[in-house]
A = this chain, B = another copy of it.
């Protein structure tokens, strides 16, 4: 979520039907009696039809979260004017209020960062082709050239950025990645098994839109070779975690997780194969929820109106 002055962003170019178009409000503020009433009354005033609504009062932090999807056809004025009304309302709710208004009819984009392992990339390209992803994949950047051909076969530009072996010398490569990404001003920067730890400056720069898929059920098995760690510990389920990228490794707010059952007969190679099925679907779900404005971050936790 952005601060009180939001950017208005799209839910993707995949929903062509005007009847399906929604204006989606997400808002987090200090909870107090009447917040819901104020928001819904504002919408009722102009006859807006709320087709989907989520609310959450967090007893732990005293914070209130909501997501309201308004049928665009029932809004009798322009998006900008609706935004202005919500801006005034958000102002009332105090300076810590964070909110956003999305137009599901506007174009939305993601840039993917990859390495050699293609299962998440194949999956996301396939979903984009099938119209399942509420965004266009604007570009794919790889630190290896391997996945270039298939990316371009999907009509998506691919950029190969060479990363030096010595981590201390990777600054210019990351700078090049930053430039290639920022050119698209994407709604999501997806580390689709990128296998590179983002520098703190990039984590800050893309805060709230850089999304990683980690191949373990966090907080178990942080860092390298999680399936090897899982094998050594003898766990009976393996998992994957989709989370926002923060400077602390694999410690960002979790968007989605899932697990799959393994047994003693599964070695690390079997785990890698079975884990991919979880990685694919966990990343795809997390990314979709992010793009549709379903994820609200509060501290280290997320509210997901899925």
Contacts and interface: CB of A to CB of B under 8 A. Distances in A.
A300 B153 contact: no
A235 B218 contact: yes
B263 A304 contact: yes
A118 B128 CA distance: 11
Nearest to A64: B50
A175 B220 CA distance: 35
A219 B264 CA distance: 17
Given A129-B150, A132-B276, A233-B254, A50 B74 contact: no
Contact of A264 (B33, B40, B122, B301): B301
Interface residues of A, number: 75
A237 B258 contact: yes
A126 interface: yes
A47 interface: yes
A185 interface: no
B304 A264 contact: yes
A184 interface: no
Interface string A230-259: 011111110100000000000001101111
Nearest to A53: B55
Contacts of A52: 57, 265
Interface in A111-142: 117-119, 122-123, 125-127, 129-130, 132
Contact of A41 (B41, B119, B306): B41
Contacts of A239: 237
A141 to B, nearest CB: 19
A34 interface: yes
Contacts of A57: 49-53
Contacts of A125: 122, 126
B273 A257 contact: no
Contact of A150 (B49, B153, B303): B153
Nearest to A277: B281
B265 A56 contact: yes
B129 A118 contact: yes
Given A254-B234, A273-B132, A302-B234, A36 B56 contact: no
Contacts of A33: 43-44, 47-50, 74
Nearest to A32: B49
A264 B284 CA distance: 20
23 contacts: A31-B49, A33-B43, A33-B49, A33-B74, A37-B43, A55-B55, A118-B126, A122-B125, A123-B123, A125-B126, A217-B220, A217-B235, A217-B237, A218-B235, A219-B220, A220-B220, A232-B300, A236-B254, A236-B257, A263-B304, A263-B306, A264-B301, A264-B302
Given A33-B50, A219-B220, 16 more contacts: A33-B44, A34-B44, A36-B53, A51-B59, A53-B57, A56-B264, A122-B123, A130-B276, A217-B237, A217-B259, A218-B220, A218-B235, A232-B300, A234-B300, A234-B302, A237-B259
